[in-house]
Amino acid sequence: MKLSIGHLFPELLNLYGDRGNIISLRRRMEWRGMEAEVTEYKLNDNIDFSKLDIVFLGGGSDREQLLVCKRLGGIREAFKDYVEGGGVVIAICGGYQLLGHYYKLKNELVPGLSILDIFTESGVGRLIGNAVIKADFSDVPIVGFENHGGRTYIGDHKPLGKVLFGSGNNGSDGGEGVIYKNVIGTYLHGPLFPKNPHLCDMVIKNALEKKYGKAELAPLEDEAEYKANSFIVNKYTRK
Amino acid sequence: MRRIIAVWVTKFLILIGRLGGKGGSSTPGHFALKICPNILKFLSGQVRDGIIAVCGTNGKTTTNNLLCTMLRAEGKKVVCNSLGANMLEGVVTAFASSADLFGRLDADFACIEIDEISAVKVFDHFIPKSMIITNLFRDQLDRYGEIDITVDYLKRAVEKAKNITLILNADDPLVAAFGKKTGNPCVFFGVGEDVGISLNETKEGRFCSFCGEELSYRFYHYSQLGDYGCGSCGFSRPEVRFEATEVNISEGLSFNVDGRRIHADYRGFYNIYNILAAYSAASHAGAELKDLQSVLGGYKPQVGRMETFFIGKPVVFNLSKNPAGFNQAISSVSGDGRSKDVVVVINDNAQDGRDISWIWDVDFERLKDVKAKTFTASGIRHCDVMVRFKYAGLENTKDTGDVLKAIEDALKTDSEVLYVLVNYTALFSTQKILKRLEGDYKSGKGGRWE
């Protein structure tokens, strides 16, 4: 079995070790005898969403985000169709903000793609630090590091998880990230997948099921990954 | 009177600190400022020929110490924060410790390394005559947010100092664009030919700072450094006053600059930039640098910059605190043909930056072909390093939070050399361990590694 992963604009959106997520997806498929074909898209490349099984959007600085936004505006409809049709999307930090209607900065409004009914506003000070969240799909928490000036409000959408430690989407409503169909948006980097193999596997499974109808993932030996995960969980949530 | 008391207190606290064996030196300056808020203005005002500031992500300490050594070789008296304490308090400590008990300072120059974010604060106390910017890479992400924020802080600092000359790395498009935007007089240095060392790594700042287009490169050195140009607005690598040519990095470092051949017995291509930056600043300050070769020969790289120990076998110790620095260290490791072990120590204390996600921007994959006997993950975040090793496909890996044990075990193999790569807060503690082990070995207690 094989998945095509589209890494959107890694030259612009690749803050905080984001490429570690791609490395995780690729390795965890290879270890199971499956193939991951990763295509890196440059800003002016043509993107055919029908050929992709996973779309990955990383984080960038505000300047870089603006450049991406201008470009993505032109392919918004195709992207939206991909999402509504159950396409898998992982969007981190800046990429997450882009999925919403807008990101309101002090003197500027960065329009988003309106893929999801969410929006972001800049707040006073950045929300920085290790974070631990609890998602519905597993008893093992998701850990990561957040570093964002924007506060995201997800309205009626479901958050990826409940904040056990850290700030989450906006520091006030106790939610972190968003999960809609097969889209996951989150502020957590660290990067996200290496210390959260359960989440990475869920994403791979979703993409395989979308493509092949059903999929079973062979278990892997994840001692190192969960040791790194529980180091953060224990340090920040156990008194 | 307050000034004198402030100087006394600083000197006293430095002494206490030394007795306690502490490596850093910002606490004394902190108290000096409390006692006398204008202590730094007062002391720095006594420097006769000018202050040279050194900023930039990597290479500050080496560049600053080289510059200081070059000026001292000219017979100049120089104040220098040589230990790398580079926030406002550390700068105060450096000046106060150089003053006499009456608060008098006898100095021709001051070479002061300043943290990029702190420069705007430090420039309230003095305006340097010139300022080096070595490069602008990602570093300590969670403290600075993003590289754009760092640039913004530097801009605010330079706005306070419209007349200072900027001594800039022409090969770094972020630095060159920064200089161009300030309108200050700029002197550029750079490496003007392809040295054939470029890697596949994350390149921040590869987009034009003026119009946002992707820059095209004639050649890369590493990170975003190289010979670049913007096809859209015409921004390109500026004209270089101090250009390194005929570069040879196979045996130490040699290159031509300013019509002379320079040779240094250091490892690491990036040291060419450190030498060039210091040379440019010293030359700009009027130094003739006749004895340059002996200065470079006698210069000892400071703590943890490819520092070597001998503990039954050579041990190479290097500080690598961000992807650019770490990839350079990996180049050195993979370029060393000897059989080896590698220990990586990563902490996440406040001064390191709590966020260590940058280890995924480091090309650990390149160590796969190195065939080390062992790769050991250590430090506070050894679990994360271990995961990184695993996904890079490295074999013979192990991890322990105990740095002493990591090093002792790695010394027991029959490899010819041990590399110890650490990040910032692991620097002094690991150096202490290595010094002690070296001392034990020399005094005959080290037989267990034979």
Summarised one tens digit per residue, pLDDT across range B187-219 is 999 999 988 776 555 555 578 889 888 888 988
Average pLDDT, chain B: 88
* Least Cα separation, residue A5 to chain B (angstroms): 18
Instruction: Provide the domain count of chain A.
Output: 1
- Chain A residues with CB under 8 Å of B387 CB are 194-195, 224-225, 228
Question: Hey, is the C-beta of A122 within 8 angstroms of any chain B C-beta?
Answer: no
| Pairwise CA distance, residues B432 & B438, whole Å | 10
Contact (CB<8Å) A228/B207: no
| Pairwise CA distance, residues B418 & B373, whole Å | 10
* Least Cα separation, residue B139 to chain A (angstroms): 10
* One CATH from 3.90.190.20, 3.50.50.60, 3.40.50.970, 3.30.450.20 for B307-449: 3.90.190.20
The pLDDT score that the predictor gives to residue B413 is: 95
- Chain B residues with CB under 8 Å of A130 CB are 354
Lowest mean pLDDT among A104-113, B197-206, B399-408: B197-206
pLDDT at B324 over 60: yes
pLDDT at B117 over 80: yes
Assign B84 to helix, strand or coil: coil
Q: Pick the residue with more confidence: B7 or B247? A: B247
Lowest mean pLDDT among A24-33, A60-69, B119-128: A60-69
What residues of A are labeled active site? 93, 189
Average pLDDT, chain A: 92
pLDDT at B177 over 60: yes
- How much is the ipTM here? 0.95
Average pLDDT over residues A195-212: 97
The domain in which residue A225 lies consists of: 2-237
Query: Domain limits of chain B?
Result: 46-298, 307-449
Summarised one tens digit per residue, pLDDT across range B133-172 is 999 986 645 444 567 788 889 999 999 998 999 999 999 9
Please tell me which of the candidates B141, B355, B360 has its beta carbon nearest to residue A20: B360
- The size of the A-B interface in CB pairs under 8 A is 87
The pLDDT score that the predictor gives to residue B196 is: 76
Give the active site residue among B100, B148, B265, B355: B355
Give B301's pLDDT tier (boundaries 50, 70, 90).
Answer: low
The pLDDT score that the predictor gives to residue B303 is: 65
The pLDDT score that the predictor gives to residue B257 is: 94
Average pLDDT over residues A134-138: 95
Give B287's pLDDT tier (boundaries 50, 70, 90).
Answer: very high
Q: Give the contacts of B112 (CB within 8 A, at least 6 positions apart).
A: B51, B52, B53, B54, B64, B79, B80, B81, B91, B94, B122, B128
- Chain B residues with CB under 8 Å of A16 CB are 141, 355, 357-358
CATH number for A166: 3.40.50.880
Summarised one tens digit per residue, pLDDT across range A157-181 is 999 999 999 999 999 999 999 999 9
Q: Which helix (H) or strand (E) holds B318?
A: strand B314-319
| Pairwise CA distance, residues B296 & B16, whole Å | 33
Contact B48, B77 (CB under 8 A): no
Average pLDDT over residues A55-78: 82
The pLDDT score that the predictor gives to residue B223 is: 81
The pLDDT score that the predictor gives to residue B203 is: 53
| Pairwise CA distance, residues B378 & A31, whole Å | 26
Domain B46-298 belongs in CATH node 3.20.20.105 = no
Contact (CB<8Å) B386/A228: yes
**Helix axis angle, B147-159 to B173-182, nearest 10°:** 30
